[in-house]
Amino acid sequence: MFDLYIGNKNYSSWSLRPWLLMKHFGIPFVEHSVSLYRPGHTALLKSLSGNARVPCLHEDGFQIWESIAIMETLAERHPEIWPADARARARARSLSAEMHAGFAALRSAMPMNLKFELKGKSPALEVQQDIDRVIALWEETRCQFSGRQGPYLFGAFSAADAMYAPVACRFHIYNVALPPVAGHYRDALLAHPAMIEWREAALKESEACARYDQLAEDYGGRR
């Protein structure tokens, strides 16, 4: 049995990724929520995760941290996590690695906050460049693999979709205008039953981080 340690659902975009993947593929796990905004959380994280961050997956006490490592570990037993076609699988891994390592400007300017729906504003150049890159990846992948049935990047849901789910949330929260192909893909991700479950749980959370809330509001005010 797996134990998955995650942060606050309203803010923790990295925690969403493996949680969504495991939910979609029906991989059993026990969920543990770790408060990231209370005194003493750093010491607790150090005892739960090798890098003192969430998410972290435990199997019989053995720790696997970093979303990419968690997904690859799960894929060893559940190969359907990646596309079956070799080229599609390679592209899915490329997209996932780029998401894991990149888009720092977008993530910094648009922190995830599922309790907000904001008007948004014209982003700074580096943020717009990240947005444009995400749109290009989504559109190129959907067009190249459009023959595959399903609304996701490679037709059927895969680890790549789990990696980009928080970006879909951010594009909704900050009212980012998207062209049709990218917009339809964002909507498909947001309509995933597990995404709806995550958001509903986030809206019920009472814990808040004033700094993250202010960063979000500064980006353009509520709709």
- What pLDDT shows up at residue 72? 97
pLDDT tens for 138-171 read 999 999 986 668 999 999 999 999 999 999 999 9
Compute the average pLDDT of residues 22-31. Answer: 98
CA pair distance 74, 90, nearest whole angstrom = 17
Whole-angstrom distance, CA of residue 221 vs CA of residue 217: 5
Dihedral in degrees, nearest 10, Cα atoms 157, 189, 185, 89: -20
pLDDT value at residue 222: 73
Assigned token pair, 23: 């939910």
Report all structural domains of the chain as residue ranges with CATH numbers, in order of start. 2-79 (3.40.30.10), 82-199 (1.20.1050.10)
DSSP string of 15-83, one letter each residue: HHHHHHHHHHTT--EEEEE--SSSTTHHHHHHHH-TTS-S-EEEETTEEEESHHHHHHHHHTT-GGGS-
C-beta atoms surrounding 129 within 10 Å = 14
**For the whole prediction, is pTM greater than 0.85?**
yes
Three-state DSSP class for residue 155 = strand
Largest CA distance in the chain: 51
> What is the Cα–Cα distance from 74 to 195, expressed in whole angstroms?
20
Listed in sequence order, the residues at least 6 apart from 174 whose beta carbon sits closer than 8 Å to its beta carbon are 110, 118, 120, 219, 220
Tokens 């990696």 belong to 163
User: Crossing angle of helices 125-144/180-190, nearest 10°?
Assistant: 90
% of the chain at pLDDT higher than 70: 96
What percent of the chain has a predicted confidence (pLDDT) above 90? 79
Measured CA to CA, the distance from residue 21 to residue 34 in angstroms comes to 19
